[in-house]
Amino acid sequence: MRALTLAAMLLAAVFVGPVAADERPFTGAFEGTGHACSGNLYIREKTAEWNTPFSVCKPARYEGLEKDFAGEHKRLALRIKSRSRRCAYEVFEVEQVSRYGWNANAYQSLEAFQKRSQPDWQNSPLPERLTLSCPTILLD
């Protein structure tokens, strides 16, 4: 029986093959600093949470929006499927800027994330266009 189980596992490994690095979900724990950014951002396999003094985003399922791990600096954007009551943001984005240093951004809506590079959205004083941008350190 043991030999049969081992044979089945070997066959599965041959036909399925190893999981590609891009297929595995990115996970990480980030620590932010500064008045509005102190707190932690956690990206887990199925949930994300970001707690800061002005926004408490409890663990929630998410969908991936963008992922670029091909270059020297990794980048990931995800959209929270259902926000907790005190969570001000719908989209989280992390981008590696050095070996352990990352920049984390939060957008109040998917529209704000999609239009983030348009001149009339950048640095807009309108409340629905405000974003959070935090230097963070990857803890794990």
Domain annotation covers residue 20: no
**Count of the separate structural domains present in the chain:** 1
Query: Mapping DSSP to helix (H, G, I), strand (E, B) and coil, where does residue 19 land?
Result: coil
Domain containing 43: what range?
A: 25-138
Q: Give the model's confidence band at 124: pLDDT under 50 very low, under 70 low, under 90 confident, else very high.
A: confident
pLDDT, tens digit (0-9, with 9 covering 90-100), for 21-44: 456 778 999 999 888 899 999 999
Q: Give the model's confidence band at 79: pLDDT under 50 very low, under 70 low, under 90 confident, else very high.
A: very high
The residue with tokens 């190893």 is 18
Domain annotation covers residue 75: yes
Distance in angstroms (rounded) separating the CA atoms of residues 74 and 30: 14
Q: Where are the strands (E) in 23-130, listed by range?
A: 28-32, 39-43, 47-52, 55-68, 75-80, 91-96, 101-107
Please give the span between the terminal C-alpha atoms of the chain, in angstroms, as a whole number: 40
Query: Mapping DSSP to helix (H, G, I), strand (E, B) and coil, where does residue 110 land?
Result: helix
> Which of the two residues, 11 and 45, has the higher pLDDT score?
45
pLDDT of the residue at 34: 85
> Which of 45-64 are b and which e, b meaning 16 or more Cβ less than 10 Å from the residue's Cβ?
eeebbbbbeebebbebebee
Domain annotation covers residue 5: no
